[in-house]
Amino acid sequence: MAHTSKSKAFRLGLLVFIALVVLTVVEFFLAVYLNVWLLLVIVALCKAGLVIYYYMHVYRLFQADTTLDRNSYAYKLATNRLGLWLFLVSDSFVFGGLMVARINLLGLTHPHLEQTVGLIVTSVLLVSSFFMNRAETAIAHGKRNQFVASTAITLILGIAFLVGVIGVEWRIAPFGPADGAHGAVFYSMTGFHAFHVFTGIIFLAIVLRNGLRGCYSSERHWGVEACAVYWHFVDVVWIFYYPALYLIGTVIE
Amino acid sequence: MKVILSLGLIRGLLWQLLGTALGIGFFTLVRALLGLPSWEAEPAIVVGALFGALFFLLGVGVLNDWLKWAAGEPTEDHVDDSHLGWRRYFGPSLDHKVIGVQYLVLSLVLMSVGGLFALLFRTELAQVQMQFLSLDQYNTLMSLHGMVMIISILMGIAAFMNYLVPLLIGAHDMAFPRLNAFSFWIAVPSAIILLSSLALGGFDTGWTGYPPLSVRAPIGIQMFLLGVSLSGFSSILGGLNIIATIVRMRARSMTPFRMPIFVWSSLATSIISLTATQLIGLSFQMVMLQRLFGMSFFDATKGGNPILFQHLFWFYSHPAVYIFVLPGLGIISELLPVFVRKPLFGYRWIAMSSLGIALVGFLVWGHHMFTSGMAEYLRVPFMYSTLLVAVPTGIKFFSWLATAWQGKISFETPMLFILAGIVVFLLGGLSGPPHAVVSTNLHLHDSYFVVGHFHNAMYGGFVFPFFAAIFYWYPKITGKRLSETLGKIQFWLMAPSFVIMSLLMMRIGLLGMRRRIADYEPAFGFEPYHLIMTIMAFLTALGVVVFFINVIYTQLKGQPVTGNVWNSRSPEWQVPSPMPVHNYERELIVVGEPYDYGSPGSRYVKFVGEA
């Protein structure tokens, strides 16, 4: 019985990942051939919805308490979840504000960027989200080794994303932060996002280290869950930022 | 000496000094290693200030438990540090009551500083031409007065939300005690950074910091922008904590519509501060980035848009006014029934009106921009949304009048301040719609009328309820009651002189006095008005001095009081004062309506095991 629920959870994670990949491919070709901003927004919303529901488990917020003992782990866990989600709501106002700045200043144009790099970093972050989900599912079912391996892969992919954005894209972009509104918008949006990826990497490193020392169990792994929810949140932000910076509208030089 | 060094605050300040120096040195070293010209003042000082804030937090020790969690070590919950006595008020205590008092003291300190700034430039304004301030000094003091007072107000409301919300809902502490301590301690270095702008050339933008002026201002503006951004985290995380506490920590029998009204208004305030505050931080950081890296967000010559700043800024800064006043209005609704011995009229309407003000508040920011070149078709929607705020606010006034109607009113000091709050907030409220209506707004924009309106709203919605709350809960916090005589002297010094001052502000504003300017045309004949306003400002300040004398006198000479001083039904008064360390020994049970004053035998709460 336990075995079937375990494999079910892993299979669900994989299915959601495949759906996200398909949607990303669809998004890319929609942008290339049609470039209707509304369609891209709809695809992004679908992707975000999948991540928020299946990877971030937003429904856990609305589950009734199993215990009324205020000092119990279960009750505190639910309180912590609420706190984390409130933080994410607050944080999304920062990213939303930057998006407003982008819409206001650039409208239906986007900066001149290398599409391959954009697609690669987006895929890297997407794959990292899959492994993050796998790590959380693994620890929830007591598979320590798989948890450690998946966390490590997520960490490496996170670093790869940062290298891709900061090390490659920022270097090869034909404009600097001081070059007009598109420079300001591009560097601030990717910069704020990269800062969150960076904090997420630190969080992952802490989780990995504590995981190696055996601090988490299938019953008690709030640290892993918090890290996973935060990491997926950073991914959700990129789900909107990628089309906003790379796909929507025409290129401005 | 050893005792002094053991205080978290002192350690933090020393570490902040060290961190600032390290940050500046580190930045300069990196530049030198990269082969750039090694000294550039502005980015070096910004990096130094950031390092300073981080080092302050490390020095205070407020990050210790989180660092332990990160290292996988266990930490202790519910630390009882009451054996430290007065010293725990200077360290990273996790007790929400201690943190509440810390917020209160910080608020009063900042209020004194901001008030002092106001007195300085108010004195300058008493006569035409410049007497003892330079134009730059005037601009800096005027700008800092605004922001220091705003942070003081944020600290003041946080003080009472922290102290009262867990007590009113029967919790032993906040939902996240460590986050609570962090929220307070991040505000201290930010206030220091903010004030350090005085030493770095000041700035001349007013508290709004509009570009392009803020992009051209001296380095002082960077400290202003950074200080405000950092103290925003205090407000954001504090709001998060309050919401989680109200949702998760309420006594089990306390249904939402049996919560005290102050809890409702704290919830409404926290919803705004959790979300909107990020946008003032973002808009200020964008100005910082434009100054540091030349990113042309707001530079119209390079494709930017200065109006964008105003949209982002006012999306917070208008709801911010509701952050400031909602807790104060909650205190008025909370205390009024106690002093008129009658039930609060229309409890549910009051509770919902707080949420209503908070939510409508998100849709009104454009009324600050009618003259800014915002798209004209937006004017009318923003006019109506702004006028809509008057509806929930009117509900509150209606309820207060109906509550006081035919009550057995007693005029202790808290009640006097409550009444002053109602009257002054009414003045502020009635002078609001002229700003909402486009046609009159275009005439009144940037005039002293706005200054008068705003100060009325702040005094009525914050300052007077704040003092009422201090007088009311002082026995709960310290076990001693503030002197009634000194309290009444304070009241009669503050309230009438403030009303005269603000009415004169509105008067000369209508006659054509511009706001924020250091000097004015003598031919307009404003001089006598300005002289009277200056005298009234000094009388108001004298009232605050009397308050401080009152606190010192009470702490030295006051008789201990332990019982239910005001004969209140609220749970925190059902246990002895000062409040025990872990709040309630036994669990709270809600058995009635919160404000049924005057109906014999009815109770709001009892404790488990009590008859």
Q: Do A79 and B175 touch (CB under 8 A)?
A: yes
Q: Let me know: does B148 contact B113? Beta carbons within 8 Å.
A: yes
Instruction: Among B240, B362, B587, pick the best mutation site for testing chain A contact (most A Cβ within 10 A).
Output: B240
Q: Could you tell me the CATH number of the domain that includes residue A107?
A: 1.20.120.80
Alpha-carbon gap: A105 to the closest alpha carbon of chain B (Å): 6
C-alpha span between B345 and B519 (Å, rounded): 48
Q: Do B304 and A181 touch (CB under 8 A)?
A: yes
pLDDT digits (tens, 9 = 90+) for B113-128: 999 999 999 999 999 9
B412-428 b/e (C-beta count within 10 Å ≥ 16 → b): bbbbbbbbbbbebbebb
pLDDT digits (tens, 9 = 90+) for B153-184: 999 999 999 999 999 999 989 999 999 999 99
In this complex, the residue of B240, B252, B282 whose CB is nearest that of residue A83 is B240
B293 touching chain A per CB within 8 A: yes
**Across the strands, what pairs with A250?**
A109
Mean pLDDT of B264-284: 95
Give B3's pLDDT tier (boundaries 50, 70, 90).
Answer: confident
* Chain A environment of B278 (Cβ under 8 Å): 90-91, 93-94, 97
In this complex, the residue of B244, B276, B295 whose CB is nearest that of residue A184 is B295
B179 touching chain A per CB within 8 A: yes
Q: Whose structure tokens read 């051939």?
A: A33
pLDDT digits (tens, 9 = 90+) for B527-575: 999 999 999 999 999 999 999 999 999 999 988 998 899 999 999 999 9
Give the chain B residue nearest A222 (alpha carbons). Answer: B69
- CATH architecture for the domain at B93-607: Up-down Bundle (1.20)
Residues for chain B: how many in total?
611
pLDDT score at B360: 93
Count the Cβ atoms, other than its own, within 10 Å of residue B246. Answer: 24
Phi-psi region of A214 (alpha: psi -120 to 50; beta: other; left: phi over 0): left
| Helix-then-strand count for chain A, H and E | 8, 2
pLDDT score at B577: 85
Question: CA distances (Å), A49 to each of A42, A226, B53, B140, B593, in order?
Answer: 10, 19, 37, 48, 42
Q: Which tokens hold the place of A54?
A: 């299946």
Amino acid at B324: F
Alpha-helix residue ranges (DSSP H) falling in B276-305: 277-293
Q: Do B295 and A93 touch (CB under 8 A)?
A: no
* Chain B environment of A100 (Cβ under 8 Å): 308, 311-312
What residues have CB less than 8 Å from B511, skipping those under 6 apart?
B524, B526
Query: Chain A neighbours among B 310-339 (CB < 8 Å)?
Result: 311-312, 315
Alpha-carbon gap: A26 to the closest alpha carbon of chain B (Å): 32
Between strands A109-111 and A250-252, the pairing is parallel
pLDDT score at A1: 42
pLDDT digits (tens, 9 = 90+) for A159-205: 999 999 999 999 999 999 998 899 999 999 999 999 999 999 999 99
Query: By C-alpha distance, which of A109, A60, A55, A73 is closest to A228?
Result: A55
Run of H or E including B554: helix B527-557
Amino acid at B31: R
What residues have CB less than 8 Å from B440, skipping those under 6 apart?
B434
pLDDT digits (tens, 9 = 90+) for B372-420: 888 889 999 999 999 999 999 999 999 999 999 999 999 999 999 999 9
Going by the DSSP 8-state scheme, the letter that residue B205 receives in this structure is S
pLDDT digits (tens, 9 = 90+) for B177-190: 999 999 999 999 99
| B349-353 contact pairs (CB < 8 A, 24+) | B349/B395, B349/B399, B350/B261, B350/B264, B350/B395, B350/B396, B350/B399, B351/B257, B351/B259, B351/B261, B351/B264, B352/B392, B353/B392, B353/B393, B353/B395, B353/B396
Chain A residues with at least one Cβ partner in B under 8 Å: 68, 70, 75, 78-79, 82-83, 86-87, 89-91, 93-94, 97-98, 100-101, 104-105, 177-178, 180-185, 187-188, 206, 209-210, 213, 215, 223
3-state helix, strand, coil in chain A (%, to 5): 80, 0, 15
Give the chain B residue nearest A94 (alpha carbons). Answer: B278
Helix (H, G, I), strand (E, B) or coil at A110: strand
Residue B334: half-sphere exposure toward Cβ, Cα within 13 Å: 30
| Least confident span in A3-17, B253-267, B289-303 | A3-17
In this complex, the residue of A70, A86, A97 whose CB is nearest that of residue B312 is A97
Q: Let me know: does B148 contact B194? Beta carbons within 8 Å.
A: yes
C-alpha span between B247 and B519 (Å, rounded): 51
ipTM of the complex: 0.94
C-alpha span between A38 and B219 (Å, rounded): 43
Tell me which residue range forms the domain holding A226: 2-252
In this complex, the residue of B69, B241, B293 whose CB is nearest that of residue A177 is B293
Alpha-carbon gap: A97 to the closest alpha carbon of chain B (Å): 6
pLDDT digits (tens, 9 = 90+) for A193-250: 999 999 999 999 999 999 999 889 998 999 999 999 999 999 999 999 999 999 998 8
**Across the strands, what pairs with A111?**
A252
* Chain B environment of A206 (Cβ under 8 Å): 70
Of A1 and B232, more confident: B232
Mean pLDDT of B429-434: 92
Alpha-carbon gap: B301 to the closest alpha carbon of chain A (Å): 9
Mean pLDDT of B428-434: 93
Query: By C-alpha distance, which of B488, B476, B473 is closest to B550?
Result: B488
| % of chain B beyond a pLDDT of 70 | 100
pLDDT score at A4: 64
pLDDT digits (tens, 9 = 90+) for B443-499: 999 999 999 999 999 999 999 999 999 999 999 999 999 999 999 999 999 999 999
Q: Whose structure tokens read 């239906």?
A: A108
Size of interface A-B (CB pairs under 8 A): 103
* Chain A environment of B305 (Cβ under 8 Å): 104-105, 181
Domain ranges of chain B: 1-74+84-89, 93-607
pLDDT score at A3: 56
Domain tally, chain A: 1
| Least confident span in A73-77, B78-82, B600-604 | B78-82
Query: By C-alpha distance, which of B284, B450, B305, B457 is closest to B367?
Result: B450
| Helix-then-strand count for chain B, H and E | 22, 2
Q: Let me know: does A50 contact A19? Beta carbons within 8 Å.
A: yes
pLDDT score at B150: 95
C-alpha span between A172 and A195 (Å, rounded): 20
B281 touching chain A per CB within 8 A: yes
Question: CA distances (Å), B529 to each of B2, B496, B502, B509, in order?
Answer: 54, 16, 11, 11
Run of H or E including B570: none
Alpha-carbon gap: B589 to the closest alpha carbon of chain A (Å): 15
pLDDT score at B91: 87
pLDDT digits (tens, 9 = 90+) for B334-385: 999 999 999 999 999 999 999 999 999 999 999 999 998 888 899 999 999 9
Q: Whose structure tokens read 């702040």?
A: B458
Residue A137 has pLDDT above 60, yes or no: yes
Instruction: Among A63, A71, A72, A86, pick the best mutation site for testing chain B contact (most B Cβ within 10 A).
Output: A86
* Chain A environment of B297 (Cβ under 8 Å): 101, 105, 181, 184-185, 188
C-alpha span between B404 and B101 (Å, rounded): 31
B373 touching chain A per CB within 8 A: no
In a 10 Å sphere around its CB, with 0-12 CB exposed, 13-18 middle and 19+ buried, how is residue B525 labelled? exposed
Q: Kindly report the average pLDDT of chain B as a whole number.
A: 92
pLDDT digits (tens, 9 = 90+) for A84-98: 999 999 999 999 999
